[in-house]
Amino acid sequence: MKTTMASCRGAYACVAMLAGFGLIAFRDPNGIRPLGIATRQGQRGGTDYLAASESVVAQGLGFSDWQDVKNGKIFS
């Protein structure tokens, strides 16, 4: 991921789901594009994760614990 981020130019906020691994989210070093992660208790006892650009999306879907992905950082 660090190599990918180093080769990207401009503003970006990316989210990917990898089978067998989980959710990955990363943001450009200048933090121009917004990106955050929220959680909620899943119906089957696990934790559900949501990645979005605005916290109002998470609130509307019943997610809480909103955290901004920091500039130039990776959330996995």
Please state the domain extents for the chain.
Answer: 2-75
Structure tokens at 31: 């933090």
Residues 6+ apart with CB under 8 A from 52: 35, 36, 38, 58
CA distances from 31 to 8, 22, 28, 55, 66 (A): 13, 23, 5, 16, 17
**Is the dihedral angle over the CA atoms 18, 21, 23, 26 positive or is it negative?**
negative
Contacts of 54-62 spanning 24+ positions with Cβ under 8 A: none
- At residue 20, the pLDDT reads 87
Residue ranges in the chain modelled with pLDDT below 50: none
